[in-house]
A and B are shown apart, each in its own frame.
Chain A
């Protein structure tokens, strides 16, 4: 009898949460979770979802100007995938008790962020290649780690997203390879794109561990499984040989293979520049957000019409059954 009383009392919800985390098991929407965990998770998933959605813009900028019909179709499919990633991630976020409309408003009001990387302009066709290769590449490095994150719906969304991101990266690399082996003008275009996208791609993986306000708690909760600096090192190690294969120069004089560490050493990232972009003063912050808000506002009458029509249909359905 005494034993069953103990069982009935069981662990408190907080204890159970800690046990799940300690055992490396997933937290599911129905599980109790600390309010701070929920808030952190909402912030992170929302930021990721917004990044996918805003991420349609820089590459979408080249759809009408793609240099071949094959490249145009591949690019449309890629931009479509990013919108799809946004959808999965908003759904994952909604399981935490916040609606897509609320998240959308928070983005439009500038109260939630999206990745700093999408605040740089795409100035040539090679930028489409560089984004696929470097930005999707960096995103994969981050997201592969996130497939092991502690919140179940987020981890599962990442598994799905990662598969498509690897396609994107391969396609981006293929664009870069075609350019690097093409005419002099094409090679220059590719090098210029690498020069402009290299450092922002390293910075997009987040501030260095000693500056990162969220890292420690996020690691404890199993939200983050690897630190920003660990992920960044992986990304550099995997990307430098690819640049060498392309015959393009990585724009970092400090880049050198470190035999002892078994990793590439690389130069100091300009974090002041990164924080300027995060604060809203990057080259394209204003355009990106304005584009998003305009699409939303222009579509207001369409969404209202869809709701009104659905309500009328429902009314008719009720009348018919009455």
Chain B
């Protein structure tokens, strides 16, 4: 695999993670438990959409086929998406949204911090800004997980159910293949396996504080990086893409 082909796929993976998550968070505005949470979820959503746009714009340039961020976002089908399967898991109740966010944030903080040192200046620049955002997101999701875990009996129960539901999709975040291998050697990418310990420390720390635990069932669903998704993505993409596809070639 050539470096530029590997970099293109790698950027799609980074971009799609944020695009799919941003798409899901965007559906939550006006539906949150209070006005402050509507504002907070919009903030997090905007950060992920911004990251998605940066990564996808760069991906399109690396590809050099004349595509742009929107063509990449709107004209690929399920099998072409490279996001980790965690991102496409449904918003569920507030606990599910927060469990998914906690796992994403605990992964993205070390990922982006690592990528800030990439030999690829463009990628390093995007990652440096994204790392600041991810650290803020992680503080926010940790606060809520601890609050819900230690709040009422009901919130504790719901938070545990949510952790159990989202956990089986976390290993997909770290599933490396020849794409990463090609880039890590040259100092372009971060080896996902190398950031797993920091993810585990962060997650175990917050769960301990919240009085929650990880599920005992070791089952993990992987495949997103190769376009092998859960069935959920096929419902999310038509909503994202319909208007764009119905009007080919126009400006918006």
Contact = CB atoms under 8 A, between A and B. Distances in A.
A302 B145 CA distance: 11
Given A76-B29, A183-B247, A305-B148, A86 B73 contact: no
Contacts of B240: 64-65
A42 to B, nearest CB: 18
Interface stretch (A52-60, A140-148, A210-218, A240-248): A52-60
A131 to B, nearest CB: 14
A65 B38 contact: no
- The DSSP consensus for interface residues of chain B is helix
A169 B116 CA distance: 37
Contacts of B19: 69
Contact of A76 (B32, B45, B146): B45
Interface string B167-209: 0000000000000000000000000000000000000000000
Interface stretch (B48-56, B128-136, B216-224): B48-56
Given A69-B19, A83-B29, 6 more contacts: A73-B50, A125-B243, A301-B154, A303-B34, A309-B146, A312-B150
B93 interface: yes
A59 to B, nearest CB: 9
Contacts of A53: 30, 35
Nearest to B95: A302
B31 A186 contact: no
Contacts of B140: none
28 contacts: A56-B38, A57-B30, A64-B27, A65-B240, A67-B243, A67-B244, A69-B70, A73-B46, A73-B53, A76-B42, A76-B45, A76-B49, A80-B43, A83-B30, A90-B35, A175-B252, A182-B250, A183-B247, A185-B247, A292-B30, A298-B31, A299-B34, A301-B158, A304-B151, A304-B155, A305-B152, A309-B147, A309-B151
Given A68-B244, A182-B251, A298 B93 contact: yes
Contacts of B30: 53, 56-57, 60, 79, 83, 291-292, 295
A282 interface: no
A306 interface: yes
Interface string A88-127: 0010000000000000000000000000000000000100
Given A299-B32, A301-B155, A69 B42 contact: no
A72 B26 contact: yes
B202 to A, nearest CB: 20
Contact of A306 (B26, B49, B70, B151): B151
Contacts of B53: 69-70, 73
A251 interface: no
B23 interface: yes
Contacts of B39: 80, 83-84, 87
Contact of A80 (B33, B46, B93, B150): B46
A71 B26 CA distance: 12
A182 B43 CA distance: 31
- The DSSP consensus for interface residues of chain A is helix
B148 A63 contact: no
B42 A178 contact: no
Contacts of A80: 29, 38-39, 42-43, 46
A178 B252 contact: yes
Contacts of B146: 309
Contact of B33 (A76, A83, A86, A302): A302
Interface in B110-159: 146-148, 150-152, 154-155, 158
A312 B94 CA distance: 21
A185 B38 CA distance: 34
A37 B163 CA distance: 51
A68 B252 contact: yes
A307 B34 CA distance: 13
Contact of A86 (B35, B239, B242): B35
B38 A83 contact: yes
A204 to B, nearest CB: 19
Contacts of B43: 80
A308 interface: yes
A130 to B, nearest CB: 15
B70 A68 contact: yes
